[in-house]
Copies of this chain bind each other. A is one copy, B any other.
Amino acid sequence: MRLKVSCDLKFNLEFPTPFIGMLRPQSGGYQEILKESYFSVPAVPFRQFTDSFGNLCQRFTTTAGFFELHSSAIAEIPEALDVNYEAGFVEIELLPDSVLPYLLPSRYCETDRFSQMAVSITNFSAHGYQQVKAIENWIRINIAYLPGSSDFPISAVEVNQRQSGVCRDLAHLGITLCRALSIPARIVVGYLLDLQPMDMHAWFEAFIGGRWYTFDPTQKDKKGGYVVVGYGRDAADVALYNQFGPAVYANEQLLSVEKLP
């Protein structure tokens, strides 16, 4: 299917402010970008670099006062994401070098504290895809998905204590449990068609059977409609923007995801 996605960010800033943005969807994995647009009002110089997770990032300093960022893209994605219950666990020694960072603990994923829980949840699952599916199901049943319930990221330990969270929090718990079983897992942020309420979404991918598969503990019935904006170890790596400096007076975010004929 073909989706048009867009994100408009509006700021009112006291001072010129350094930003690092990650707002440009790229072709890769299951998605292909046909057209893409990115600009600010007023126009300011930006410099791009690719971070160690493969995301195309933008560095710029805003003007003071009202400042807007516009990003839009047309993406071609499959009707339904791949599902493969036969995809097996990949032995550590066979993992590509580039996948290894997704095995380690990270800011919001205290992998080193979840070994027992991960084993107990996946006790009766075949190694690989079915373990991750068991984790996804366990989270869906046991952790309440409450959009808008937390303003800043909380870690897997905290999510597990609180028994509820936003999409990002449930993804963190899923990632953490996968890594505790030596299954590489990474966070994905992006757009999701028909998400209610519309907002930037977060889900996760696990590396099994030699490739990445998509999992989303917050969405039982979605088979597709995901457009990736960024990948990372956890939410610390995939902020849509990092802003450095004094307070922002206003901050508005408008998202849209539209299916094209």
Q: Which residues of A does B touch, CB under 8 Å?
A: 18, 20, 26-28, 32-39, 43-52, 56, 59, 61, 74, 76, 91-93, 97, 100-101, 103-107, 109-110, 112, 152-153, 182, 236-237, 242, 244-245
Contact = CB atoms under 8 A, between A and B. Distances in A.
A56 B46 CA distance: 14
Contacts of A236: 104-106
B50 A50 contact: yes
A153 B18 CA distance: 33
A82 to B, nearest CB: 18
Contact of A32 (B45, B153, B245): B45
A46 B18 contact: no
A34 B44 contact: yes
A161 to B, nearest CB: 14
A236 B176 CA distance: 14
A27 B51 contact: no
A106 B39 CA distance: 30
Given A107-B110, A182-B244, A244-B92, A47 B18 contact: no
Given A45-B76, A107-B110, A101 B33 contact: no
Total copies of the chain:
4
Contacts of A105: 107, 236
Given A26-B48, A44-B34, A61 B152 contact: no
Contacts of A244: 92, 182
Contact of A48 (B56, B104, B152): B56
B26 A47 contact: yes
Given A32-B45, A34-B45, A103-B242, 10 more contacts: A27-B45, A34-B44, A35-B39, A45-B76, A50-B50, A51-B101, A104-B107, A104-B237, A106-B106, A106-B236
B39 A43 contact: no
A30 to B, nearest CB: 11
Nearest to A112: B152
Given A93-B59, A110-B107, A152-B112, A33 B46 contact: yes
B49 A52 contact: no
Nearest to A2: B43
Contact of A52 (B52, B153, B245): B52
7 contacts: A33-B45, A33-B47, A34-B43, A51-B100, A104-B107, A104-B236, A106-B236
Contact of A47 (B32, B103, B242): B32
A20 B112 contact: no
